[in-house]
Structure 1
Amino acid sequence: MNPLNVVMLQGRSRTDRIFTNEHLERIRRFGTLTVNGSDEDPTSALAAKLAEGADVVITSWGCPPLEAPILDRCPKLKLVLHAAGTVKPILSPEILPRGIRVGTANEALARGVAETALGLAIASLKNMWQLARNTREGEWHKQRERVRELYEVTVGVIGAGLAGRHLIRLLRSFEVRVLVSDPFVSETEVAGMGAVKAELDELLRSSDVVSFHAPSVPETDRMMNARTLALMKDDAILINTARGSLIDEDALVAELRKGRLWACLDVTNPEPPEADHPFRSLPNVTLLPHIAGAENNGLRRIGGFVADEVERYATGRPLKGEVDIAQLHRLA
């Protein structure tokens, strides 16, 4: 393959957080690399100017949709690599008919999401959140009887996409039963992961921990509502590191006020929740500021993944993060 003209559209401040100098040098091995030097997110006009003549465009958070005024400036463009999660913010109807391939760093982000979900499951089963409060208040033994281990319990994974599958792989290190609910994954495929396929209602009735990894699409909007939340076992743990839209928050608040469940919420709808939202004051909620995917040093995993993708493309190998745009309605 001829040397590539690679252009990074995101602002320099984002580039510096995601890519190390080593990542940038690896990309330069396969051609030229132009980096947006502005710290601000690019306007459409700046993106069009930067992208002129590009073979590969790298985008990230804060980039505008790649519409005709941008794409017309780079008629040789064959690949867009999104150094972030969902590609929906940077897509336009112009991309598919031009035959431009699109890739995402979702795989890198998914690892962080799954690791966070596992950590929340362990800490919640151990009742660490409440015990830490009790210990600070001098109650050394209070509620130790509620401690559970990640052992001989049932973990329900809703959504067997990249994050869900990685969580399932992590759970293989524990003696637990894993149930999976995903309408797009077969029973045989789930069995190959070492888990058991289940309908949503069955999973909710049976699981001690329920972890959400489904995409935000119309079919999943408020999939957890008064009816489905009522199916969950007493003392079950609900973990949402996916999207806030999956949960009817009023229904969850009503269920949490009964004291039956513990919720670990890395995402809400909207973000952040209002200052007087019950999630901020209920004692059985662990509320986090959307940090599951990648923060700080974890962002460098995205940079490494994108550099790997450039190398795979330049050497004619399959991409790991390529997106089937025709199936975008199923994706996060």
Structure 2
Amino acid sequence: MRRGGNRRDIPLYSPSVSFRGGIRVKIAMLQGKETREKVFRPEHLARLREFGDVTLNEESGNPTEERARSLMAGADVAITSWGCGPLTEKVLENAPNLKLVLHAAGTVKPIVTDALWRRGIRVSNATEALGKGVAETALGFTIVSLKDMWRLSRGTREGGWGPVSGVREVYGLTIGVVGGGRAGSHYVKLMRQFDVRILLYDPFVDENRAREMGAEKAELEELLRASDVVSIHVPSLPETYRMFDEARLAMMKDDCVLINTARGSVIDEAALAAELGKGRLFACLDVTDPEPPPPDHPFRRLPNVILTPHIAGAVNNGLARIAHAVIQDLTAFIEGRPLNGEVREEQMHVLA
């Protein structure tokens, strides 16, 4: 049951709650100056100003509750991002006409409060924009690892030239995708460009939806036993904590490539280090638990591990994709169309 029985009875996509007829909206950007400048280029701010008046946070660092309250005064739309705190009742009472929060980042959990839902304020995030970058990174890991480029490059630098017996093409293999959300579904889309079989494990995706995506729905154990590559795209939840434990890692095929661009907590790292120590698997880990791993962690010295510092999402020029997603959802809201990144209260328990 939805919390907040006094929530306004507003249809999800009703044009009556958008701003038509040339009415200008007031937009408050809460993120600190450094974060804003990383995500929003001058052309993005110019586009936002076409919709109405834009209030910028010109202070450094993350906004305090008092600062957020001040910036939000009279706002119709708020834009948040990394470093923004919860939109509490105290903050929201200064913006009685607020109807939309656009989160220029991934998870909305740092900013969402019960007060938002009670007031009927809609929330959208940029998870899809981030997910595309994550999926593209996973694709890169897939190709380079199957081609055995890491080992061949190291050997070539040391004066060698081959052998190439470990090289595999992205052809005729089975690719296992764990998690069919924004990143996982885009990874499936990318892998459909190759002649491979794609298995998908996601308890929230049925067989018809998996087929539409271009994958076969499978149970996790079935996927692990059959796949030549396993790419993880699940959120960090109590249900996913160390779901890749000793028993499941042991199910994986010899020479399987395990890719984790999701969260480090989904893997039992001690169990993975032990399995990798046998030389049976190859792992590409963009995330660990904690980050960074300790200097003496086995992942830093095992030859069959590629360790990258959480770069799968947007970190540089790709951040502009987030700004573009925010502008797209603002446009959709004003035109009374569905929001691509909308998050609803009932989804919060299954979101990262």
| One-letter amino acid of the structure 2 residue matched with residue 53 of structure 1 | G
**1:141 equivalent in structure 2:** 162
Is the 1:24–1:307 Cα contact (8 Å) retained in structure 2?
no
| One-letter amino acid of the structure 1 residue matched with residue 337 of structure 2 | R
User: Is 1:218 the counterpart of 2:238 in the alignment?
Assistant: yes
**2:203 equivalent in structure 1:** 183
Is the 1:9–1:35 Cα contact (8 Å) retained in structure 2?
yes
> What residue ranges of structure 1 are gaps of 5+ in the alignment?
none
> What is the rounded CA distance, in whole Å, between the counterparts of 2:347 and 2:35 in structure 1?
28
- One of 249, 266, 281 as aligned partner of 1:261: 281
**2:191 equivalent in structure 1:** 171
| One-letter amino acid of the structure 1 residue matched with residue 98 of structure 2 | L
**2:150 equivalent in structure 1:** 129
Q: CA RMSD, aligned part only? A: 0.8
Query: Where does structure 1 differ by over 4 angstroms across 4 or more consecutive aligned residues?
Result: none
TM-score with structure 1 setting the length: 0.98
TM-score with structure 2 setting the length: 0.93
**2:132 equivalent in structure 1:** 111
Q: What are the within-5 Å matches in structure 2 for residues 244-283 of structure 1?
A: 244-283=264-303
Offset of residue 67 of structure 1: 1.0
**2:49 equivalent in structure 1:** 28
SS at match of 1:179: strand
Offset of residue 59 of structure 1: 0.4
> What is the rounded CA distance, in whole Å, between the counterparts of 1:249 and 1:43 in structure 2?
36
SS at match of 2:195: coil
**1:227 equivalent in structure 2:** 247
**1:66 equivalent in structure 2:** 87
> What is the rounded CA distance, in whole Å, between the counterparts of 1:285 and 1:102 in structure 2?
38
| One-letter amino acid of the structure 2 residue matched with residue 299 of structure 1 | L
> What is the rounded CA distance, in whole Å, between the counterparts of 1:201 and 1:137 in structure 2?
40
Offset of residue 269 of structure 1: 0.7
Offset of residue 193 of structure 1: 1.4
- One of 170, 191, 200 as aligned partner of 1:150: 170
Offset of residue 39 of structure 1: 2.2
| CA deviations over 1:289-314 (Å, ceiling 9, x no partner) | 11101011000110111111111112
Is the 1:27–1:311 Cα contact (8 Å) retained in structure 2?
no
**1:294 equivalent in structure 2:** 314
Offset of residue 77 of structure 1: 0.9
Q: How many residues align?
A: 331
> What residue ranges of structure 2 are gaps of 5+ in the alignment?
1-18
User: Is 1:311 the counterpart of 2:322 in the alignment?
Assistant: no
- One of 116, 121, 136 as aligned partner of 1:95: 116
Is the 1:161–1:213 Cα contact (8 Å) retained in structure 2?
yes
> What is the rounded CA distance, in whole Å, between the counterparts of 1:102 and 1:287 in structure 2?
34
SS at match of 1:89: coil
Q: Answer with 322-331 or 255-264: which moved more.
A: 322-331
